[in-house]
Amino acid sequence: MDTYQIKLASTDRVIHLSVATQEDIKAVSSTLTCDWLYFWSRLDSDCEAIVKLEVEGNVQGLIHIALYPYPLQAAQPEYLEIIHIETIQSPSRLVNPVGLYLIWYAAKTSLNFDCTGNDSGSVVELDALESAIDYYRDKVMMEGRGWISIAPGEEGYAFRFSQAQAIEFCTRIEQQYGVPSPIGKIG
């Protein structure tokens, strides 16, 4: 997985996007609502990663991503799924945007792995809770696919990026907030 640094256009702060360690997750787990340590314990490092956005040594958000189909050694990945994403809320947040750059990382990873697209042409997919639909539709500008069942009794809304949409999203974020520079590769 790639590691990036970004000098935000709106400030002099530099943010980093890189694979999170268990220690990173432990340090931030009390400020997040998801059970990230559980996600970490069940992580399949052959096709999944938890990535952090960090500024000045402080984790500001996490994203759990997976490439499919698995195993990747058998085929070119078709798409990347955003399984979980969560950001630190104000007043603890040190920079903005956090969620957009975490999604940028996911979209960029799907492009870097040259995902071919699944049956619907998606290279990035995520299922959102109803409370997050406006964010993914209006701010991220993902294409809505329709209502789905996330778990028994829990409805969500499916979103996606095609390859062209992923490129467009990455370009928009880079132009608006700053261009990430690769600083290394892990794994």
Over residues 163-176, mean pLDDT: 97
186 inside domain: no
167 inside domain: yes
pLDDT reading at 72 higher than 70: no
Over residues 118-133, mean pLDDT: 94
pLDDT tens for each residue of 133-159: 999 999 999 999 999 998 888 899 999
- pLDDT number for residue 71: 64
Model pTM score: 0.94
- pLDDT number for residue 145: 96
- pLDDT number for residue 130: 92
Domain encompassing residue 33: 2-180
pLDDT tens for each residue of 59-69: 999 999 999 98
105 or 46: which leads in pLDDT: 105
With CA atoms as reference, report the closest residue to 61 among 113, 5, 18, 110.
18
163 inside domain: yes
* Helix/strand/coil (H/E/C) assignment for every residue in the chain: CEEEEEECCCCCCEEEEEECCHHHHHHHHHHCCCCHHHHHHCCCCCCEEEEEEEECCEEEEEEEEEEECCCHHHCCCCEEEEEEEEECCCCCCCCCCCHHHHHHHHHHHHHHCCCCCCCCCCCEEEEEEHHHHHHHHHHCCCEEEEEEEEECCEEEEEEEECHHHHHHHHHHHHHHHCCCEEEEECC
Count of domains observed in the chain: 1
Residues facing 181 on adjacent strands: 5
Q: Tokens 């490129």 — which residue?
A: 167
Over residues 85-93, mean pLDDT: 90
23 inside domain: yes
- pLDDT number for residue 25: 97
Q: For residues 18 and 51, what is the distance between their CA atoms, to the nearest angstrom?
A: 5
Name the pLDDT band for 74 (thresholds 50, 70, 90). Answer: low
pLDDT reading at 55 higher than 90: yes
187 inside domain: no
Rg (the chain; Cα; Å): 16
- CATH code of the domain covering residue 71: 3.40.630.30
* Helix/strand/coil (H/E/C) assignment for every residue in 61-84: EEEEEEEECCCHHHCCCCEEEEEE
Report the mean per-residue pLDDT for the chain. Answer: 92
* Least confidently predicted of 62-76, 102-116, 128-142, 170-184: 62-76
pLDDT reading at 187 higher than 60: no
Around Cβ 173, how many Cβ atoms within 10 Å? 21
